[in-house]
Chain A
Amino acid sequence: MKRTPGKSARTALTDNATGWLMMLPALAGLTVFVVAPFVLALGMSLTHLRMGSPLGAQFVGFEQYLRLLQDASFQRALINNALFALGVVPVQTLLALGLALALNRPLRGVAVFRTLFFMPVVFPMSLVAVVWILIYAPGPNGLLNGVLGALTLHHWQPRDFLHDPHLALPAIMLTSIWQGAGFQMVILLAGLQEIPRERYEAAAVDGAGPWQRFLHITLPGLRNPLIFVVIVTSILSFRVFDQVRIMTQGGPLDATTTVVYQAVQSAFDRAQAGRGAAMAVVFFVIVLAITLIQRRLLRTEREVR
């Protein structure tokens, strides 16, 4: 950032004090409520600390981490988080892209549809999860079972979605996609509207078909928002918690357990604060890795432009 020449040294001095002054409230908040607990987590993760124990905390080195690496449930949680990301990120992004493309036309009623698709975003996840428990209700009385029964002319065998080891995670993924797709759609729609119309007109003059226009104009034009959407969704995939706690409690057979769910369960159900803290640290490392990859991608993108 270059400063315009001709400013007095006095302004620079004022900026020095004012800069810190303006930064201070936020910095203090972040220090007390983010940095301090994170450092505390690092410390706790090296102990066997049990909440409220008169024994205090004993230093055990990396024991908690070694245990996590060998723990089948925790491995399962890592895999589930990855599966969740691998499933939700492409499906939700494609769905959002499709909706955005469909709405990016001068049609009557577009605003109404946009409102409808966005509406689930304003529902808190804890409420969404409760409603979807009923939607997934087992037996022919469940909404989804009923719909599938009607669509297949009653050839569908009603399932207990949330207790089926193969269906529970996809069920939670579907719930999350329903709740989140509208958010991404809006971002992509705004991106579409930033693409200059002239580019399409020029391409049409050159005889490019719709598919080619999509490949060569729309996709490159959407690159920035698309990367943003993909990154945010994959980070959120690792933060999945509310749905799991309310809908399946990690079951059946750990099919839906996640890293955050296990951390909260360790710390609050079993009072094992040390173990919970170690999980939180592992979680942080994963999210950090995703973010670093994001920075990389964004940087190359900026260079391209």
Chain B
Amino acid sequence: MRRVALKIIHYGLLLGAALVFLAPILFMLAGSLKPDARVLSEAGSWRALVPDGITLENYRAVLARTPFWHYLLNSLLINGLIVGLGLLINSLAGYALARLRWRGRDAVLGAVLAILVIPFEAIAVPLFYQLSLLGWRDDFSVQIAPFVANPLSIYLFYTFFLSLPRELEEAARIDGAGPLRTFFTVVVPNARPVFASVAIVTLLFYWGLYLWPLLMTTGPAVRPLPLGIATFFTLPPLHWGQILAFGVMMVAPVLALFLIFQRGFVRGVASSGLKG
């Protein structure tokens, strides 16, 4: 009897917490599905979370007002390259630091750990100045290149490779494989979790980047998804329904990825913390 009661309390608490976590998301979804004027006027009632009647008008307006698909493709390209290139060069660096012996390694490791401390926000201003003086702006590369080499990713790879058993590599190397080949044929296949977690953390961080592309790009041809929201924010009158619809559409790809690869997602995030 007591067990059942405990269980009910347990579920009750979980449900309460879930509602709190879910409410803003429901609010966004509901708001995107109702006529613009009612988003704010109904926000104080339970109609804020459960619309009576559904309209796709906001979504239609978003598609009409912004080149949504174009922005989406740009975002996919930019983030795909940040993640892909990042996995390649940061894992190579992490492996070199963890396993290879070369002159200057300790100094480089120290430098990477020091750079780990410098957050992007601290260098955004001078980096902006530096690249602007070079005349480098308004293309895809300026949205990708600064973010590919990433000290946190290197560090995560480094700690993971340190924890990997050495036997396999040693066997491969005795068989005559060089470090590069050993890395690609033996190490990478055994390091999927860390690749997944680095990819996820990188994607979560860069998908919503706003200020950098806003300042560094001009043409809609190269602009990413988050800048679409600027289109709505700066053109009064504010259409809250459309803004929310755009938000739903912006987060949908990442959310879908998350729901499909949930286990990997969660495990990846978790391992990024445990190894730290």
Contacts and interface: CB of A to CB of B under 8 A. Distances in A.
Note whether A and B contact each other (Cβ less than 8 A): yes
A131 B43 contact: no
A15 B208 CA distance: 39
Contacts of B73: none
B235 interface: no
B113 to A, nearest CB: 9
Nearest to A123: B251
Q: Closest 10 CB pairs between A and B?
A: A124-B208, A29-B149, A19-B102, A146-B44, A190-B270, A187-B273, A26-B93, A22-B96, A37-B127, A25-B89
A132 interface: yes
Interface string A186-201: 1101110010000000
A51 B25 CA distance: 41
Among A30, A99, A288, the one with the most B-chain Cβ atoms within 10 Å of its Cβ is A30
A211 B114 CA distance: 40
Interface residues of A, number: 103
B21 interface: yes
B180 to A, nearest CB: 6
Interface stretch (A71-79, A163-171, A279-287): A279-287
A277 B129 CA distance: 10
17 contacts: A25-B149, A27-B108, A44-B129, A109-B14, A116-B21, A120-B21, A122-B258, A134-B31, A134-B43, A139-B44, A141-B42, A143-B27, A143-B48, A178-B20, A263-B121, A264-B121, A283-B119
Nearest to A11: B173
A107 B89 CA distance: 42
A86 to B, nearest CB: 20
Interface string A144-186: 0110010000000000000000000000000000100011101
Most buried by B among A34, A242, A281: A34
A178 B255 contact: no
A194 to B, nearest CB: 7
B84 interface: no
Contacts, number: 288
Contacts of B18: 113, 116-117
A33 B141 CA distance: 13
Interface string A102-116: 110101010101111
B125 A263 contact: yes
Interface in B184-223: 204, 207-208, 210-211, 215
Q: Could you tell me the dominant secondary structure of chain B's interface residues?
A: helix
A232 B274 CA distance: 12
B30 to A, nearest CB: 11
B207 A124 contact: yes
A212 interface: no
Interface of B: 7, 10-11, 13-14, 17-18, 20-25, 27-28, 31, 39-45, 48, 88-90, 92-93, 95-97, 100-105, 108, 111-112, 115-119, 121-130, 145-149, 151, 154, 170, 173, 178-180, 183, 204, 207-208, 210-211, 215, 226, 229, 233, 240, 243-244, 247, 250-251, 254-255, 258-259, 262, 265-267, 269-274, 276
Given A122-B255, A186-B269, A130 B100 contact: no
A124 B100 contact: no
A40 B126 CA distance: 6
A26 B89 contact: yes
A289 to B, nearest CB: 10
Contact of A16 (B23, B103, B117, B251): B103
- Chain A interface SS verdict (over half): helix
A27 B269 contact: no
Contacts of B97: 23
Contact of A190 (B93, B104, B274): B274
A255 interface: no
A134 to B, nearest CB: 6
Given A33-B127, A41-B122, A120 B25 contact: yes
Nearest to A35: B115
Contacts of B244: 131
B17 A44 contact: no
A69 interface: no
B122 A33 contact: no
